[in-house]
């Protein structure tokens, strides 16, 4: 990367890239661990329990298919000051907001916090600042040459 591009990379972009990289790794490891420990859906007799477990599996699959790739883009490619990295980071932020509204609603309704909620809450909170910061510096990504 040229010195000019490297000098344009602010502390905020570096911080977002590092946090997104850590989050991508944690998401992947969390769901690999969860999938190896969760019972099969068919092991429950109650439709309500089956639906609850199916929802958990659904969140895991969606995280692996959507969140992890966007977090990787929002880490490695954002670090390189590429526009697609900016987009990936913003998509990851929006996914945090969406999934956390669902998760917090579920947990508060059950008067309990799940391990995933506790683990990923700091990342969800960070995503509000990250989205604001990325929006504030968007012009620097729109004007970079060779940004695709």
Please give the average pLDDT of every successive group of 10 residues along the chain, which has 148 residues: 54 97 97 96 94 93 97 97 96 94 92 91 96 95 64
Which residues have C-beta within 8 Å of that of residue 141, sequence separation ≥ 6?
A: 81, 82, 83, 86, 147
Burial of residue 92 (CB within 10 Å: 0-12, 13-18, 19+) is: buried
What's the first-to-final CA gap in the chain, in angstroms?
14
Q: Considering the entire predicted model, what is its pTM?
A: 0.86
Task: Name the residue among 126, 101, 124, 115 with its Cα closest to residue 33.
Answer: 115
Q: Which pLDDT value is given to residue 8?
A: 56
Contacts for 121 with CB less than 8 Å, ≥ 6 apart: 100
d(CA 133, CA 129): 6
CB count, 10 Å around CB of 77?
20
Residue with tokens 């929802």: 55
Residue 68: in which H helix or E strand, if any?
A: helix 68-72
Residue 120 has a pLDDT of 92
The count of C-alpha atoms lying within 13 angstroms of the C-alpha of 131, restricted to the half-sphere facing its C-beta, is 14
């Amino acid at each position: 990367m040229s010195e000019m591009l490297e000098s344009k990379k602010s502390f905020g972009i570096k911080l977002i890239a590092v946090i997104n990289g850590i989050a991508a790794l944690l998401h992947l490891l969390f769901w690999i661990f969860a999938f190896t420990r969760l019972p099969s859906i068919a092991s429950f007799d109650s439709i309500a329990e089956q639906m609850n477990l199916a929802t958990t599996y659904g969140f895991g699959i969606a995280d692996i298919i959507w969140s992890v790739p966007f977090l990787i883009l929002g880490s490695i490619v954002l670090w390189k000051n590429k526009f697609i990295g900016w987009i990936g980071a913003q998509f990851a932020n929006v996914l945090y907001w969406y999934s956390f509204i669902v998760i917090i609603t579920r947990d508060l309704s059950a008067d309990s916090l799940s391990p995933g909620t506790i683990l990923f809450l700091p990342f969800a909170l960070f995503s509000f600042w990250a989205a604001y910061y990325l929006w504030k510096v968007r012009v620097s990504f729109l004007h970079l040459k060779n940004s695709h």
